[in-house]
Amino acid sequence: MGSQGKHRILMVSDFFYPNFGGVESHIYYLSQCLLELGHKVVVMTHAYGNRSGVRYMTNGLKVYYVPWKPFVMQSVLPTFSGTLPIMRTILIREKISLVHGHQAFSTLCHEALMHARTMGYKVVFTDHSLYGFSDVGSIHMNKVLQFTLADATQAICVSHTSKENTVLRSGIPAEKVYVIPNAVDTAMFKPAPERLPRDQIVIVVISRLVYRKGADLLVEVIPEVCRLHPNVRFIIGGDGPKRVRLEEMREKHSLQDRVEMLGAVPHAQVRSVLISGHIFLNSSLTEAFCIAILEAASCGLLTVSTRVGGVPEVLPDDMIVLAKPDPSDMVQAVGKAITMLPDIDPQVMHMRMKKLYSWHDVAKRTQIVYERALKCTDQSLVERLSRYLACGAWAGKLFCLVMIINYLFWCLLRLWQVLANL
C-alpha cells in the first residue's frame, strides 16, 4: 500500500478500450476517478489487433495490452497457469497492492485473480452481468465463478438484483459483496439546447441487435406502435445478427420512412443520436444494471424499458415506464410514455441525473471496499485450500489441485529468477 492510504491497483479484464461497452466504460471511468483521488491505477487486458504493448491514456492511466489473442467472445484462451509469468512481472514492477478483476465472462480476469491470490495479494471482483442457473453454459460459468470467488477478498455488484444473483451462483457469503451502481458521464451526455417539437414523436433504440438485448421483441413492438400512433417514428442504432430481422420487418410493413436504421453508432456519436429523440426504448431480456438508460435519461429522454434484472433499481418512477418483456405490454408502455411527454423537462431530468449518479461517488465507495479488502488477514495456502475443498465433492478437489500446481509453478518462477540473477 502506498503512503497515506493511497493504493496501487491493477484492473484486469478482457474488456477494455478500444472496445466500447458497459464494462469497458466502467473500468475506464472508475480508473480515472481513482487516479484523481491519488491512487495509482494500471489496467491489464489482452491485445486488440495491432494494439499491443504498453499504452498511456488520459491522466497517465497505464494499460498493458498483453499479446494474448482473444479466443472466443473477446476472452483469451484459458491456460490456467499460462498467464502467471506476465502477471507476476506486472505485479512486481508496478508494485501493485491490490488486484481488481471485472466481469465473470473474462478468462483473463479469473486467471489474474487466481494468480494474485497465489502470490498473496488481496483481490476484489466486480460482476457486471446476470446469469442463469439451468443451462449447460450457465452451470459451467457458475462453477468457474465459484472457484474464483471462493478465495476472493471482496466482491462488488452493480445492483441488488445482481448481488443476489452472484451470491446464489457462486456461494460467496453475502456480507462480502458490496453494491455499487454504475454511473454516467453527465458532462458528455447533455440534453439538446432546445426542446424538440412534439408534432412527431421520435423513439430511439440504441443497443446491440442480439437476442439478449431483445431485438426479437422490437420486431413485434415497432409495427404495432407505428399502427397505433401515426406520428411516431423510430431511430435504431446498433448492429448485430438480429439486424436482418428488423430490416425484414421494415420491408414487410413498409415502414422505410418511419423506421431509420443507422447501423453501428460510434460511442462518441451516441449522444447526438439520443438528443434527436423524445423516448428511449430498451427491450433487453436481462440486464444487471443498464448504463444505456442512464445515458438516455441524462440526455433528457423518457425511458421505456423491460422490467428485468436490475433495471427497476436504476431510475425513479417518473423517469421510466416499465413493462414486462412481452410485445403487447411494451406497446402499452410506449403509449403511456407518449402521454407523459408533455410533463418531461429534459434539463430538469439532466440535473437530477447529475445528482443521482457520479463516477466520483462510485470511486469513493470502491475505495472503501479496497480499504476493507486490504485490512483482511493474510491466509496460508492450507487455509485457502480448505475453501476450495468446500466447492464440491469433485470440483473442490480439482480446484485444490489447480491451486497447488499454480503455487508450485509460482515457486518455480521465483527460483528461476533467483538463478537467472546469479
Partner 1 sequence: MAEKSIANSRYIYIHETGKWPSQTVDLHHVVARKSCLRNGVACLSGLVLLLSTYYSLVGKGESLYVPLLYVVIGTLFIMLSRWTLVEKGEKVEYAFDFVVRGCSLRENWLNDVGSYLVQSCCTSLSSHLSSVIIIFSPAFPSSGRSVRRFVPIDKILKPLLNECVTPVTCYWSLALILREEDELMLVFKTLRVDCWLVLLKLVEVGMATTVPKEVSSDIPLLVSAKVLPEGSRARDWCCRDSGEKYHQTLGSELPPFLYSSSVHLQKAKYRA
Name the residues that contact partner 1, by CB under 8 A. Answer: 52-54, 60, 62, 64-68, 85-86, 89-90, 92-93, 419-422
Q: Torsion angle, CA of 288/289/290/296, rounded to 10 degrees?
A: 160
- Judged by beta carbon, residue 67 or residue 137, the one nearer partner 1 is 67
Strand order in the sheet with 320-323: 259-263, 232-237, 201-206, 279-282, 302-306, 320-323
The β-bridge partners of 65 are 45, 53
Give first-to-last CA distance, the chain, whole Å. Answer: 30
| Between 68 and 289, CB nearer to partner 1 | 68
Which residue's CB is nearer to partner 1, number 32 or number 170? 32
Cβ nearer to partner 1, comparing 90 with 302? 90
Task: Supply the minimum distance, in Å, between the C-beta of residue 66 and partner 1.
Answer: 6
What is the DSSP code (8-state) at residue 50? T
Smallest distance, Å, CB 416 to partner 1? 9
Shortest reach from residue 5's CB to partner 1, in Å: 19
Residues 23, 103: contact at Cβ < 8 Å?
Answer: yes
Name the residue nearer to partner 1 (CB basis): 46 or 213.
46
Q: Which is nearer to partner 1, 67 or 78 (CB)?
A: 67
Q: Taking the complex as a whole, how short is the minimal distance between the CB of residue 95 and partner 1, in angstroms?
A: 8
Q: Which residues contact 236 (CB under 8 A, 6 or more apart)?
A: 205, 206, 209, 218, 246, 259, 260, 261, 262
| Residues 246 and 209: beta-carbon distance below 8 Å | yes
* Omega cis (within 30) before 191: no
Strand spans (E) along 33-144: 40-46, 53-57, 61-66, 70-72, 75-76, 98-102, 122-127
Residue whose CB is less far from partner 1, 85 or 325: 85
**Nearest distance from residue 223's CB to partner 1, in Å?**
51
Write down the least CB distance from residue 360 to partner 1, Å. Answer: 24
- Least gap, CB of 92 to partner 1 (angstroms): 5
Cell of 235: 431511430
304, 329 Cβ separation under 8 angstroms: no
